[in-house]
Amino acid sequence: MKLLIAADRRADLVAGLTREGHDVLGVVAASAVALAAADAMLGAEVEQVIRNLAEADAVVLEVGRESLTASVVALCDRAGTRILPLCEGPDDERLAAAFGLEKPLPLEAEAWLIAEALATAPASAAPPLGASARPEPKIIAVWGPAGAPGRSTIAIELAVELARGGRQVGLVDADTHAPSIALTLGLADEGPGFAAACRQGEFGLLDARELTRVSTPLGRSGVHVLTGLNRPSRWPELSETRVAAALAVCRGWADYTVVDVAAPLERDEEIMSDLAGPRRNAATLATLRSADLVVAVAGADPIGVSRFLRGHSELRATIGATRVVVLANKIRPGALGIDARGQVRRTLERFGGIEDVWFVPQDPRSADAALLAARSIAEIAPKSPFTLAVRRFVGEAVVAPPSTTVSRGRLQRRGVAA
């Protein structure tokens, strides 16, 4: 078995593991794999560590806060490399268990004991107290600040990608300012749509059969669209109680429900004389509070990033602890110069504390072709860079286990995934 040893205090394992019949590819610092995954090393060093990981069958890792991160777990998972943790105390054991690693060995374990553990199937560590597997999100809200960062386009493509494999997916247009999904997909916006579902939900008359009746199937993709308002002046029909009731029924109707919402998050209390009256942004706020996952879309240009940072804190205040994944859309070097991804990533991390970002490139040719044909980009250009980036995002950030969700975004940013 080919091994990589990532430990600061166990360089003596090389001779012992070699005697046990293993091929040790090299010995690196305990934090070397984490630094490589976070792109905090020189290019040649990163390539060497990743090459060794790809070639190794297992990595013997000295566990610590700096050596074991979500990036390390995802990097080894992508390379198909087993992690054998070595822990010095209970804190390190809890850290290994939190990342779902196999039962750890003591840091001072002898080479024969490590070889014996490598020869057997991995034994999962007991999950930490109170930990549980995160369920897949049923309601996914797509939000973004003002300025057309591409909310509706991302919502459509997310729904189409989620529908792969025979899943039933609902696509809801809950934008009370500028609904556009029906127009983008060439669907009739005079039908009942989401407003009718909200009216039925208010009186408890909405069920899965009624949702299927008022929705419009998007070809044979498995996506059913609840079209939005055909006139923005009808926004009082999407009240907070109605929207929350309709989305509650959507949980049992589809495997996933993707909801496109408007940008404003203001609650309008100061400008309303009647505190019990309707709110223009009630549909957006109700959707964000009902969502299991929020996809926050930022325009990848100086203005778009600035607007996103201003709105992100307000979004967090609205949704509380709901999981948020940030997607930088329309990434292109022309608006940001050299290393466009790096500049967006560093800006969001410095001014917003956002460490993990996924990127979707600007692809005007495919977007224009899809708009002309009134179909999704995935259907018109299934091999376009935009489609492949969204597909990768869905697989890594939406339906992947939480232990790999964060770090695979970092791998994509570094270009390893490509």
pLDDT computed for residue 279 by the predictor: 81
Higher-pLDDT residue of 412, 326:
326
Per DSSP, helices labelled H in 227-295 are 240-253, 282-290
Render the burial of 77-88: b for 16+ CB within 10 Å, e for the rest.
bbbebbbbbbbe
- Mode of pairing for the β-strands spanning 23-28 and 58-62: unpaired
Q: Please provide residue 399's backbone torsions phi and psi, each rounded to the nearest 5 degrees.
A: -105, 0
pLDDT computed for residue 268 by the predictor: 61
349-373 per-position pLDDT tens digit: 999 999 889 999 999 999 999 999 9
137-194 per-position pLDDT tens digit: 899 999 999 999 999 999 999 999 999 888 899 999 999 999 999 999 999 888 789 9
Separation between Cα atoms, residue 377 and residue 364, nearest integer Å: 10
Q: With pLDDT > 90 as the criterion, what percentage of the chain qualifies?
A: 49
Query: What domains appear along the chain, each with residue ranges and CATH number?
Result: 2-119 (3.40.50.10140), 139-400 (3.40.50.300)
Confidence class of residue 65 from pLDDT cuts 50, 70 and 90? confident
